[in-house]
Structure 1
């Protein structure tokens, strides 16, 4: 089992986000969605160590509820396979909403299934990460997805 810590990628992201905060802007707010409490804690920990503000929820339904009351979400990172509503279904609902469609959505999964990845990207996902998510993945997301 590999350990996840704030490696060089995390330091780079942390510095970049700190620079945004020093410039007067608040750190980006990321909504992390995963039904697995362990995976949710891991992704939230990586994001927080990189100075993101994180709200973590356990379902797509709760994510939509939060998005209805929290207008300042900078990015959504969601697991693909969850009960009740998959990450793909959450992605579709976000992209169909005139209020939410500009929020970047990143899908993550422990399964590397090319057709699933393609379908998510075609539906509007900004990226697809294969778990386990690493600090270097967060660094890449910050530079590609968030302004």
Structure 2
């Protein structure tokens, strides 16, 4: 498979098992995956940490999608979503929120704030296929 066709996904989850599951499902769908165990690590990786003036703009750090757990210590997935959408360089990157709790108000709030999708955990290969389909549409329209 051509490396350019492999979307780069940043998977953020404080639970190691969930993080490994998401990583495995994404890799099965031909995605390049980077993982982070919390929102602050994710922001650092994206170049949006408080102490980073110049984000990493190298090709390796170019992320096509961020998938994050909602409930995490320190910074929730919702707070991470807001930080990403506030960033001029990252706001176009689709963010998907995952949660084991089906709370409609929470789901709506995330979608209103700009989340691409909200998925219930545990995510399945079919969820990733749908995600990959959306990502392909996103990637083809905004590929630089």
Q: Which consecutive unaligned segments of at least 5 residues does structure 2 have?
A: 48-55, 140-144
- Whether 1:120 and 2:110 are equivalent positions in the alignment is yes
Residue number among 69, 79, 88 corresponding to 2:78 in the alignment: 88
The answer for the alignment partner of 1:110 in structure 2 is: 100
SS of 2:18's equivalent?
A: helix
Aligned ranges for residues 21-40 of structure 1 at < 5 Å?
A: 21=2, 25-40=4-19
Structure 1: segments with no counterpart, 5+ residues = 1-17
1:7 is matched with which residue?
Answer: none
* Conserved? CA contact 1:109–1:130, under 8 Å: yes
Alpha-carbon displacement from aligned partner over 1:6-42 (angstroms, at most 9, x marks no partner):
xxxxxxxxxxxx4xx2xx6241000000000010010
* Mapping 1:6-85, distance limit 5 Å: 18=1, 21=2, 25-68=4-47, 69=56, 71-85=61-75
Q: TM-score, normalised by structure 2?
A: 0.84
CA contact (8 A) 2:64 2:93 kept: yes
State the number of aligned residues: 126
Helix, strand or coil at the partner of 1:92: helix
What's the CA shift for 1:126? 0.1
* Structure 1 runs, 4 residues or longer, greater than 4 Å off: none
Q: TM-score, normalised by structure 1?
A: 0.82
**RMSD between aligned alpha carbons?**
1.3
- Cα separation, 1, equivalents of 2:92 and 2:125: 24
* CA distance, structure 2, for counterparts of residue 32 and residue 145 of structure 1: 14
CA distance in 2, matches of 1:62, 1:84: 11
Deviations 1:108-145 (A, max 9, x none): 00000000000000000000000010011011111123
SS in 2 for 1:78: strand
